[in-house]
């Protein structure tokens, strides 16, 4: 697990906000390390959404704000009903000019 120079609670909040942005926008540009780390969280949330039970909806709501949570189990999860995983794609880009960080797009597949 990458720590991103943050404490555990800061890191958890940071990943939740990245996941919410990814779900709402369906494609974000971020660093490669952040994209790889948020991928596991988002894919787990989509898998919960596919179950469509009260417990899974509560598990999603515990991580995401209500607008993003609703989008997961109403729009995104039904899209992947026949798919066994691999709901996101990380596309590597070049390096950022300012600090030479490796950049990437992470997107939810259609």
pLDDT lower than 50: segments of the chain: none
Q: Which of 100, 88, 74 is nearest to 35 (CA)?
A: 88
> Which residues neighbour 42 within 8 Å (Cβ) at sequence distance 6 or greater?
19, 22, 23, 87, 88, 108
C-alpha radius of gyration, the chain, whole number: 14
Domain that holds residue 70: 8-108
Model pLDDT, residue 1:
85
CA 37 to chain CA centroid, Å, is 8
1 occurs within a structural domain = no
2 occurs within a structural domain = no
CATH number of the domain where residue 38 is located = 3.90.1030.10
How many domains does the chain divide into?
1
26 occurs within a structural domain = yes
95 occurs within a structural domain = yes
């Amino acid at each position: 697990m990458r720590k991103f120079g943050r404490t555990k609670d800061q890191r958890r909040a940071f990943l939740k906000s990245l996941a919410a942005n990814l779900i709402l926008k369906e494609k974000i540009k971020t660093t490669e390390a952040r994209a790889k780390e948020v991928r596991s969280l988002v894919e787990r949330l989509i898998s919960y959404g596919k179950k469509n039970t009260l417990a899974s909806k509560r598990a999603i709501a515990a991580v995401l704000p209500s607008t993003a949570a609703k989008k997961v189990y109403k729009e995104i999860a039904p899209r992947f009903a026949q798919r066994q995983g691999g709901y996101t794609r990380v596309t590597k880009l070049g390096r950022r000019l300012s600090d030479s960080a490796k950049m990437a797009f992470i997107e939810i597949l259609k």
